[in-house]
Amino acid sequence: MATRMERPQEGGCEELESFLQSLGNEIKDSDDADEETYDLYAQDLPSADLGIIDPKATELQLTVAGRELTIHQSPGILSSARAGGTTGAVTWRITPLFATWISSASNPLFTHLNLLNHNNALSSSPSTTTTTTTVIELGAGTSAIVGLLLAPRVGRYVLTDQAYVSKLVERNINENWSSAVQQQQQQKTSLVGSGGSGSNGQGGKGKKGGAGGKWSKKAASSSSSSTGDKILATEEGPGERLVFRALDWEQDTPTSSLAQPVAASFDLVVACDCIYNEALVDPFVATCVDICKLRGNNGGRPTVVVVAQVLRTSDVFEAWIKRFVQDFRCWRVPDDKMIDGLKSEGGGGGTSGFVVHIGVLREGR
């Protein structure tokens, strides 16, 4: 029978409070949200495009935290009139930077909260996972980049978005899993570049199969009925460790089945460049609340929400931050805990144009 190593929860709330205190001042209410908006948008935002890496390429060759990835995307879907949005069809500039930061050994989420196994990309035992950390990504789009970097070191990583992205997500997992795991095993710590070295992705057209390594979904699913066999991940395929599930914020309610068979709730909610329209604010925050409520009142550490954004229009950001603090305690991740390229306050009053916030559901919500 396959076994799983449980991560101790005792003292988890104390660890969380220590982590939150290390982030500095809390954004407590609407007045603080106004001040946060002013502080960020009073700076000189970059004039360069912070949007899509390459809106015309169907294939990108990216180096992300030292991993060579071949990412497929769909400019056709992006330019279509599809109802319900098309922005998830391509890869955005913030994604490789965010993936590098959140998967690094020095990331405060993991140095303080011990959520990530950095000793081995996969367990040395083929029947044992070394962590039961569960992560869900909202609005993941097609690239699967964040999941490819984090999934080998957690118990379960669930990519979610609208159903139209599923084909490309599965293709990107298929063609990148083997190389991502092999390269991760060769590095005891993620590469956090100085001046952006190793942390920025360069988009462009390239040859197929540049990242190498394919896996069969049929082969990845064990014929055994044991839970441990079903979650087994190898260099050939992620099994149940990295999966895609359709989740529409306006139509669907998250349930514990998303975290199973590893757990019944999530340790971490990740969202990268999902808030670009005021109409998305309420359903996004409501979905975050629903996911955090899955944790229940079992005395364990609350679910942590990580939201990375591009600083586009102040109206959209202000709408999000004011709505978010109604249900969540909130902090901005300070620059001394970020990598170059993601720092929200640059020299000379400038900024990278990106920002990352941490949220924890308020008691009684």
How far, in Å, CA of 128 to CA of 123, rounded?
Answer: 6
User: Greater confidence, 2 or 108?
Assistant: 108
* pLDDT at residue number 103: 93
CB atoms within 10 A of CB 85: 16
In the predicted structure, residue 99 carries a pLDDT above the cut 90: yes
How far, in Å, CA of 224 to CA of 86, rounded?
Answer: 39
pLDDT average, residue stretch 29-39: 97
Query: Long-range pairs for 77-86 at CB < 8 Å and ≥24 separation?
Result: 77/164, 78/52, 82/164, 84/162, 84/164, 84/248, 85/162
**What number of CA atoms fall less than 13 Å from residue 351's CA on the CB side?**
19
pLDDT per residue as tens digits for the range 44-54:
888 655 588 88
In the predicted structure, residue 209 carries a pLDDT above the cut 50: no
In the predicted structure, residue 230 carries a pLDDT above the cut 60: no
For 201, phi then psi, to 5°, come to -95, 140
* Percent of the chain clearing pLDDT 70 (strictly above): 71
Spatial CA neighbour of 171 closest among 206, 200, 211: 211
CB atoms within 10 A of CB 26: 16
* pLDDT at residue number 220: 30
* pLDDT at residue number 131: 75
* pLDDT at residue number 51: 81
Confidence of residue 8 (pLDDT cuts 50, 70, 90): very low
Whether residue 308 contacts residue 271, with contact meaning beta carbons closer than 8 Å, is answered with: yes
Spatial CA neighbour of 265 closest among 177, 182, 155: 155
In the predicted structure, residue 347 carries a pLDDT above the cut 70: no
Spatial CA neighbour of 354 closest among 23, 99, 150, 90: 99
From residue 85, how far is each of 94, 142, 175, 337 by CA, in Å? Answer: 19, 13, 26, 33
In the predicted structure, residue 237 carries a pLDDT above the cut 70: yes
Average pLDDT, the chain: 79
* pLDDT at residue number 85: 52
What's the whole-model pTM score? 0.81
How far, in Å, CA of 32 to CA of 62, rounded?
Answer: 38
For 38, phi then psi, to 5°, come to -60, -45
Confidence of residue 88 (pLDDT cuts 50, 70, 90): low
**What number of CA atoms fall less than 13 Å from residue 269's CA on the CB side?**
29
Question: If you write DSSP's letter for every residue of 105-171 in order, what string do you get?
Answer: TT-HHHHHH--S--S-SS-SSTTEES---EEEEES--S--HHHHHHGGGSSEEEEEE-GGGHHHHHH
In the predicted structure, residue 30 carries a pLDDT above the cut 90: yes
Q: What is the DSSP letter of 51?
A: S
Q: Cα angle at 252 between 260 and 172, to 5 degrees?
A: 60
pLDDT per residue as tens digits for the range 264-300:
999 999 999 999 899 999 999 999 999 999 998 766 8
In the predicted structure, residue 206 carries a pLDDT above the cut 80: no
Q: What is the DSSP letter of 355?
A: E
pLDDT per residue as tens digits for the range 118-128:
554 554 333 34
pLDDT per residue as tens digits for the range 187-204:
544 434 433 333 343 333
Return the CA Rg of the chain. Answer: 19
